[in-house]
Structure 1
Amino acid sequence: MPKFAANLSLLFNELPFLDRFEAAAAAGFDAVEFMFPYEFEADDIAARLKANGLRLVLFNLPAGNWAAGERGLAIYPNLVSEFRDSVDRASKYATALGCSQLHCLAGVAPGGADIRAMRKTYVENLRYAAERLASDGITLLIEAINTRDVPGYFLDTTAKAADIVESVEAQNIRLQYDIYHMQIMEGDLAPTIDKYLPMIAHIQIADTPGRNEPGTGEINYPFLFDHLDHIGYKGWVGCEYRPLSSTFDSLAWFRALKPKSV
């Protein structure tokens, strides 16, 4: 069975953020991930992780003004300084929290943008980030995101993301493969995972349509979970879905896989 991490930005959101760690542990999770830690003190998060025996496996670099629709800083030639500051900030949190993976959101390309200039900036920024993070033992991840949910997102297919990884030419940059996003953009999930497995360091899940829990949509998750075991995937699987009702009810699929955990 794959190793599952609860995404605390979406799961247990009936609770205040710092209370979600205890709920995740009580539900049987050994690890968590979330989008951003920056509105909380690292020491407060570290205390919740330790108290509940949890490992933090992933969070994002600062991504700009999220409420205003910004989805990353890395592609913009005029924001290189801000991007570098974001790498430093994320690295300090990751070191304090024992987290060895950081995801870098690329950004949304506005209409009429110079895509070549953005790609050049993106690759150069990722090279900087990978080198900066390597000294802390941190792997840098990039992820393709569907353009139905995030119109104009710079990376929208696995092939494009893999091309960026190859262009950066760093030992510590890998793919974050989101099954929900890639079902929307390209389908052919199992063969794509097979093809890019050496590059994939983290997987995230949700069903589609709706981005709800496994079993509520069209994706055959029992098959995919077995497939990940069969091909020897060793990374974490982040549960990044919106519970259809309560988080507890949404975890029926997880309890069926891990019947003794609750």
Structure 2
Amino acid sequence: MQRRNFVKSTFGLAGAAITGGAAAGDWHSQPASLAKNSFKLKYAPHFGMFENSAGKDLIDQLKFMADMGFTALEDNGMMGRDAATQEKIGKELDRLGMTMGVFVVDKGGNSQNTLAAGKKEHIDIFLNGCKRAVETAKRCNAKWMTVVPGDFDRNLPIGIQTGHVIDALRRGAEILEPNNLVMVLEPLSDTPNLFLRTSDQTYEICRGVNSPACKILFDIYHMQKNEGHIIPHINWAWSEIGYFQIGDNPGRKEPTTGEINYKKVFEHIHKKMKEDNRDFIFGMEHGNSKPGKDGEVALIKAYVESDSFQV
């Protein structure tokens, strides 16, 4: 198999971590020195991240992720896939012992459909997306889904906009909570027009919604750009954080390629997880710093390095 040859000829020379036992697919037939990594945290790659090594087939990509020791997946576009593909991915994740991370609630809020405006037609679109997300989650064994409230409505005071967002999210939570699902709200740095910008603002909204079905998606890349002071902000928002995403800054590539000391950040989160008996998925929502198979080797090595903190 092409994936096997890649690992044997390239990854063995790259010095991957050599812990763990038999892995997914045909990995058990490989020499023990090529055993998969044993990561301390649930890092979640996305489809396309290892396409040069595993090929374009989604199931082959999942197998490769498992072979490398990754124990979760995230797929922002899952709702856009047909039902049969969603079910196929869910079954393979279960077979591999992997956890499904976030997908994005379709039309959950954007510049044309902002929850901050308080308009019935916008809220109806959002609630319809939540209902369809429940069915998607059942097919792929998902629990978390990303929601972005959309842009500011510049004609309204900020407090009124915040109230509108809370009201809409409460109604969304009424759909998700009975199904044990969680929407994670993502503050973003892509444009200053976005309503949700910082972790403390998102914390305030989650407390206002007051539901286990509404938590924070703490994207470390976006929060480094918008607020910095990463570890203190994680501490302050800790009780409302439901999910993490990763990306170094500048560049939004894998850890070790920018200014964020991910090894220290991961160590801090891991310590708090143990203290509070909590668990998180860490979505790898970033690009590769180098092209081709070499870039994929470099990416995995970066995670091995960043995950090498003391416990």
Matched, 1:244 2:293: no
Displacement of 1:236: 1.8
Structure 2 residue runs of 5 or longer lacking an equivalent are: 1-38
Structure 1 segment 94-133 matched on structure 2, within 5 A? 94-109=137-152, 112-114=154-156, 115-133=158-176
Provide the C-alpha distance between the structure 1 equivalents of 2:307 and 2:142, rounded to a whole number of angstroms. 25
Map of 2:9 onto structure 1: none
Higher strand share: 1
Structure 2 match to 1:173: 214
Q: CA deviation digits over 1:21-40, x for unaligned, max 9?
A: 22221221111112121232
1:213 counterpart letter in structure 2: E
* Counterpart for residue 102 of structure 2: 58
Return the match for 1:5 from 43, 51, 62: 43
Q: Is the 8 A contact 2:144 2:183 kept in 1?
A: yes
- Runs (4+) off by over 4 Å: 69-73
For 2:197, the aligned partner's letter is: D
Pick aligned residue for 2:279 from 234, 241, 256: 234
Match of 1:80 among 123, 128, 134: 123
Q: TM-score, structure 2 length as denominator?
A: 0.73
**Residue matched to 1:192:** 233
Deviation at 1:247, TM superposition (A): 2.8
Considering fraction of residues, name the structure with more helix: 2
Unaligned runs of 5+ in 1: none
Q: Which residue of structure 2 lines up, in the alignment, with residue 217 of structure 1?
A: 258
Higher relative contact order (CA closer than 8 Å, sequence separation 6+): 1
Bigger radius of gyration: 2
Paired residues of 1:141 and 1:173 also in contact (CA < 8 A): yes
Counterpart residue identity of residue 45, structure 1? I
Aligned to 1:206: 247
1:91 maps to 2:134? yes
The offset of 1:137, in angstroms, is 0.7
Q: Give the CA deviation at 1:140.
A: 2.0
The offset of 1:106, in angstroms, is 1.3
Q: Secondary structure at the match of 2:203?
A: helix
- 2:143 and 2:57 map into 1 onto residues whose CA distance is 21
Q: Which amino acid aligns with 1:240?
A: E
Count of residue correspondences: 253
Give the secondary-structure state (helix, strand or coil) at the position aligned to 1:95: helix
Partner AA of 2:152 in structure 1? A
Q: What SS does the corresponding residue of 1:28 show, helix, strand or coil?
A: coil
How much does 1:167 deviate?
1.3
**1:117 Cα deviation from its structure 2 partner:** 4.8
Per-residue Cα deviation, 1:66-124 (whole angstroms, up to 9, x for no partner): xxx859754342312111110011111112222111221111236x3435554333212
Structure 1 residues 150 and 237: alpha-carbon distance in aligned structure 2, compared to 1, 3 A threshold = same
- Once the two structures are overlaid, the 10-residue window that deviates more, 227-236 or 212-221, is 227-236
* Percent of residue pairs bearing the same amino acid type: 24
Report deviation, 1:214. 0.3
Partners of 1:170 and 1:4 in 2: how far apart? 24
